[in-house]
């Protein structure tokens, strides 16, 4: 029987297409071969495999949906934390993973396999200041180290330059997607989903967050959803590349 360690190493080797390691694995189970493992080497292999998975994910058509789902999970965490500052919130990674998976399905992503919980944990720890992971039995718990978390939060609130840079970067990302979107043509009738197809998902997501906050558990009403799509279509219609000829040109209505 192949050991779990061999299975994981084998998976990483094929993901990275490491021919030298694949050749060693072809001889059989590593434990049966009495192979010696260095913890640092295993960690390096696992991290390289995770980076490869993330690169493939970001390059896929669904990469943007993964980013949107992550932002909304982070919004959910921050909302729970701010709801009652006298109680330290504790989140089970399995529950956050379920929220993340459900949101991906709502965004139209085909979930053919199980989402990697370890990778989701690493992304959350990287993007949420002061968040730490702890193991309790079979569960992974996420919580804040109160003093460090509050200090970092206050520093971020006082740093207006960083906020302005974040706004500019967000605008650049959304504008890039808007300019890539092809102009739709009206053929005399409206097909199902034509409003969603006419605008980029990133623009709709941003407007939805502005109108109804980035919380994964808040489901937008039909009125808010239609208002978001209408605003997105108006912005998409008036967007155009900035050139010397149209710097002074007015917006279309």
94: CATH: 1.10.10
Task: Judge contact between 240 and 221, C-beta under 8 A.
Answer: no
Q: Is residue 205 part of a domain?
A: yes
Q: How many domains does the chain have?
A: 3
Whether 151 has a pLDDT exceeding 50, the answer reads: no
- Taking residues 91-104, report their average pLDDT: 92
Task: Please say whether the dihedral angle defined by the alpha carbons of residues 107, 113, 119 and 125, taken in this order, is positive or negative.
Answer: positive
Boundary (domain end) residue, out of 14, 41, 59: 59
Q: What is the pLDDT of residue 148?
A: 44
75 and 89 together in one domain = yes
Boundary (domain end) residue, out of 109, 127, 151: 151
| Cα–Cα nearest to 73, from 95, 107, 96 | 96
pTM exceeds 0.75, yes or no: no
Task: Judge contact between 14 and 45, C-beta under 8 A.
Answer: no
- Cα-only R_g, the chain: 23
Q: Is residue 244 part of a domain?
A: no
Q: Is residue 120 part of a domain?
A: yes
Q: What is the pLDDT of residue 224?
A: 60
Q: Is residue 177 part of a domain?
A: yes
Whether 71 has a pLDDT exceeding 70, the answer reads: yes
Q: What is the pLDDT of residue 147?
A: 41
Task: Please say whether the dihedral angle defined by the alpha carbons of residues 195, 199, 200 and 203, taken in this order, is positive or negative.
Answer: negative
Least confident among 44-53, 161-170, 182-191, 206-215: 182-191
Boundary (domain end) residue, out of 43, 59, 75: 59
Between residues 220 and 103, which one has the greater pLDDT?
103
Residues 99-149 have pLDDT tens digits of 999 999 888 888 776 788 888 998 898 888 878 888 888 889 888 876 444
Residue 248's pLDDT band (cuts 50, 70, 90): very low
Whether 27 has a pLDDT exceeding 70, the answer reads: no
Whether 95 has a pLDDT exceeding 90, the answer reads: yes
99 and 80 together in one domain = yes
Q: Which residues contact 159 (CB under 8 A, 6 or more apart)?
A: none
Between residues 78 and 245, which one has the greater pLDDT?
78
In which residue are the tokens 């990275």 written? 16
Residue-range definition of the domain harbouring residue 233? 159-238
136 and 81 together in one domain = yes
Residue 1's pLDDT band (cuts 50, 70, 90): very low
| Cα–Cα nearest to 178, from 237, 244, 227 | 237
Whether 97 has a pLDDT exceeding 90, the answer reads: yes
Residues 221-232 have pLDDT tens digits of 666 688 888 898
3-state SS of the chain is CCCHHHHHHHHHHHHHCCHHHHHHHCCCCCCCCCCCCCHHHHHHHHHHHHHHHHHHHHHCCCHHHHHHHHHHHHHHHHHHHHHCCCCCCEEEHHHHHHHHHHHHHHCCCCCCCCCCHHHHHHHHHHHCCCEEEEEECCEEEEEECHHHHHHHHHHHHHCHHHHHHHHHHHHHHHHHHHHHCCCCCCCCCCCCCHHHHCCCHHHHHHHHHHHHCCCCCCCCCHHHHHHHHHHHHHHHHHCCCCCCCCCCCCCCC
Residues 163-207 have pLDDT tens digits of 788 888 888 989 988 888 766 666 666 777 778 888 888 898 888
Q: Is residue 174 part of a domain?
A: yes
Whether 67 has a pLDDT exceeding 50, the answer reads: yes
Tokens representing residue 84 in the block: 């009652």
Whether 247 has a pLDDT exceeding 50, the answer reads: no
Residue 42's pLDDT band (cuts 50, 70, 90): confident
91 and 143 together in one domain = yes
Q: Is residue 245 part of a domain?
A: no
Q: What is the pLDDT of residue 10?
A: 74
């Amino acid at each position: 029987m192949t050991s779990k360690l061999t299975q994981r190493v084998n998976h990483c080797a094929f993901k990275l297409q490491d021919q030298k390691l694949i050749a060693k694995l072809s001889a059989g189970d590593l434990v049966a071969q009495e192979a010696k493992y260095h913890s640092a080497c295993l960690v390096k292999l696992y991290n390289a495999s995770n980076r490869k998975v993330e690169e493939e994910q970001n390059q896929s058509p669904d990469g943007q949906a993964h980013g949107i789902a992550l932002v909304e999970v982070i919004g959910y965490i921050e909302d729970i934390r701010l709801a009652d500052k006298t109680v330290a919130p504790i989140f089970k990674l399995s529950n956050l993973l379920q929220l993340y998976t459900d949101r991906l399905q709502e965004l139209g992503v085909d979930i053919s396999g199980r989402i990697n919980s370890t990778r989701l944990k690493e992304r959350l720890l990287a993007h949420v200041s002061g968040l730490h992971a702890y193991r309790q039995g079979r569960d992974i718990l996420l919580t804040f180290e109160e003093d460090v978390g509050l200090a970092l939060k206050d520093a971020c609130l006082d740093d207006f330059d960083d906020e302005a840079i974040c706004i500019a970067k967000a605008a650049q990302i959304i504008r890039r997607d808007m300019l890539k979107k092809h102009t739709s043509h009206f053929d005399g009738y409206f097909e199902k989903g034509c409003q969603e197809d006419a605008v980029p998902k990133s623009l709709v997501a941003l407007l939805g967050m502005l109108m109804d906050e980035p919380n994964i558990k808040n489901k937008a009403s039909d009125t808010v959803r239609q208002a978001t799509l209408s605003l997105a279509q108006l912005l998409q219609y008036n967007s155009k590349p900035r050139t010397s000829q149209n710097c002074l040109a007015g917006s279309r209505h």
